[in-house]
Amino acid sequence: MGVKGLQQAVHGAFSDAVKALQEFTADTRSIERVATFSGLIAEILGRRGRVLICGNGGSYCDALHFAEEFTGRYRKDREALPVLALGGGGHITCVGNDFGFGEIFARQVQAFGQPGDLLIGLSTSGNSENILRAIEQAQQQGLKTAALLGKDGGKIKGKCDFEWIAPGATADRIQEVHMCLLHIAIEAVERQLFPRHYA
């Protein structure tokens, strides 16, 4: 592929990313749910409840990113907030070996989840068995649940209190929409908990 062909491919990729976001935001119900979802997170963190988040592969990295924006900082300095990305090499290999890979997140929900907390599951296919099991465990323990999905929503579709199915033919486009939603939710939470930062 020559330079011109590569430039066209890159431009096409950016166009696909923009198209996915435009399609997602065209549904006003999606925006309304993000606002309500952010209000729930602010309420939970405001009373020092926990938000747990999990995903596999790139979605695991997105979960880590989301959590560190709360335990570290987003735009301005403020107190650390209790958001935890489930996973960790020792835990995954222990539970995967002893109980099976499908239980890796459910076991941590069992350990850390309290009634009134929130679990967020990320799955670009909607068919990640370990995410579904974590959601089921969370519901048994009285947590609220949310899912950021892709494709047709898979097995997880319709299982959670909050749900978004990101448009996009590939996992990367879906994950880009997921991360955009998560970043905007973080900003909305900060606007509620730390309004002076946005005055």
SS3 letters across 42-109:
HHHHHCCCCEEEECCCHHHHHHHHHHHHHHCCCCCCCCCCCEEECCCHHHHHHHHHHCCHHHHHHHHH
Per-residue model confidence (pLDDT) at position 104: 98
- pLDDT confidence tier of residue 73, bands split at 50, 70 and 90: very high
Per-residue model confidence (pLDDT) at position 138: 98
- According to DSSP, the residues that pair with 44 across neighbouring strands are none
Per-residue model confidence (pLDDT) at position 3: 82
Residues 80, 72 contacting (CB under 8 angstroms) = yes
Q: What is the CATH classification number for the domain harbouring 187?
A: 3.40.50.10490
pTM beyond 0.75: the answer is: yes
Q: How many domains does the chain fold into? A: 1
Structural domain of residue 66, as residue ranges?
3-198
42 or 27: which leads in pLDDT? 42
- CB count, 10 Å around CB of 13? 12
- pLDDT confidence tier of residue 1, bands split at 50, 70 and 90: confident
> Which residues contact residue 107 at a Cβ distance below 8 angstroms, ignoring those fewer than 6 apart?
91, 95, 99
State what percent of residues in the chain have pLDDT above 70: 100
pLDDT digits (tens, 9 = 90+) for 48-64: 999 999 999 999 999 99
* Phi, psi values for residue 197, rounded to 5°: -75, -15
